[in-house]
Amino acid sequence: MEKILITGGAGFIGSHVVRLFVNKYPNYQIFNLDSLTYAGNLANLTDIEKASNYTFVKGDITDANFLTQLFTEHNFKGVIHLAAESHVDRSILNPLEFVMTNVIGTVNLLNAAKTAWKNDLENPLFYHVSTDEVYGSLHNPEDFFLETTPYDPQSPYSASKASSDHFVRAYHNTYKLRVVISNCSNNYGPNQFPEKLIPLFIHNIQKNKPLPVYGKGENVRDWLYVIDHARAIDMVFHGGKNGETYNIGGFNEWKNLDLVQLLCKIMDKKLGRTEGESEKLITYVTDRAGHDLRYAIDASKIMNELGWKPSLQFEEGLEKTIDWYLNNTAWLDNVTSGDYQKYYETQYAQR
């Protein structure tokens, strides 16, 4: 059985990638390495946690010695690296934490892989899952991010992800490590921590709490259903060319205010409220510092070269997401109360 290491697999996107790989590839032994920060939640993976080809490892990518030991113990044939600090607002409050995990943690992983694979650098694959935010902010409505767009990160989060992308390319160029990188737009879907726009607003609408729209709500994001991202990661891992970058996006741009209004409309229906009731919760608040105006991905390369395309229309994906949150109130209550952080102690630690 080939051993594949997925980092950050207890988080939002990582948990969908782990599930896809565990279910689709019985010939792989999937190792999920996660330090279980506030964003890591093993309850995201209860359906596969007992699968014979799944192993959870609690560990921190900022710990270089631990990674060296892990790579010595297991002959990994590939790494899919998702572990990161991922929320822009948190990066504004604490940039150094983003440097530690996203930059130092990534370099630690690269070093561990380079050392373990030194006699076989052409074969195992180091895949870095990154963001379109490294390209900066678009101001001309006709522009899209291409793989060739120069990096121009504007937030501490995107600066840390840009830096980690650069290190991955540097290890490819300097040490001939086999690498691929993908840069994806905003994801949404089940299991997203309710600090990001869509899950936070679903939660607040349900609880009749204010919906804090930053500035005038004019910023634009390109939204992709998380399972479509996981499918793309599968395709890039298996078909991506050594040293290449793939942009992943939904061709699905929404101005924040339009998205929030659509969300309110669907929630009114689902909750049996009169139309317009949830919209009254919209509250305009001080804009995010350095708020990027627009992100938009041109995903032609992955579509043409690897045959990927999004499977869901946005309204359909949004309905599925809302239904998931409304049907999984225990998941949301555990996250908001902090009880989810006890899951590892009660279910794993004494095994």
Catalytic residue annotation: 132-133, 157
Q: CB 119 → ligand NAD: shortest distance, Å? A: 27
Tokens read off for 179: 């690498």
Q: What string marks each residue from 190 to 209 as x (binds ligand TYD by CB under 6 A) or -?
A: ------xx--x---------
In the DSSP assignment, the letter for residue 122 is: T
Q: Examine residue 252 and tell whether it contacts ligand TYD (CB under 6 A).
A: no
CB distance 302 to 247 below 8 Å: yes
Q: Does 32 bind ligand NAD (CB under 6 A)?
A: no
Distance CA 96, CA 183 (A): 22
Site string for ligand NAD, 141-180 (x = CB under 6 A): --------------------x-------------------
Q: Is 38 in the site for ligand TYD (CB under 6 A)?
A: no
C-alpha pair distances (Å), 329 with each of 233, 266, 323, 337: 29, 18, 10, 12
Mark 283-322 with x for binding to ligand TYD (rule: CB under 6 A) and - for no binding.
-----x----------------------------------
Residue 78 contacts by C-beta under 8 Å, 6 or more apart in sequence? 2, 4, 5, 124, 125, 126, 127, 237
Max CA distance (Å), the chain: 66
- The size of the interface with ligand NAD (CB under 6 A), counted in residues, is 31
Instruction: Specify the residue, 84 or 211, whose C-beta has the smaller distance to ligand NAD.
Output: 84
Q: Would you mind telling me the total number of residues written for the chain in this entry? A: 351
What are the phi and psi torsion angles at 70 (to 5°)?
-60, -45
61 binds ligand NAD (CB under 6 A): yes
Q: Which of 138, 213, 266, 322 binds ligand TYD (CB under 6 A)?
A: 213
- Interactions with ligand TYD, residue window 86-105 (CB under 6 A): 88
Distance CA(133)–CA(281), nearest Å, equals 29
Interactions with ligand NAD, residue window 67-96 (CB under 6 A): 82-86
CB of 67 vs ligand TYD, minimal distance in Å:
27
- Contact indicator for 126, 178 with CB cutoff of 8 Å: yes
For 294-303, b where at least 16 C-beta lie within 10 A, e where not — what string? bbbbbbebbb
| Interaction between residue 30 and ligand TYD (CB under 6 A) | no
Measured in whole angstroms, the distance separating CA 347 from the mean position of its chain's CA atoms is 25
Residues contributing to the site for ligand TYD (CB under 6 A): 88, 186, 196-197, 200, 212-214, 219, 221, 256, 288
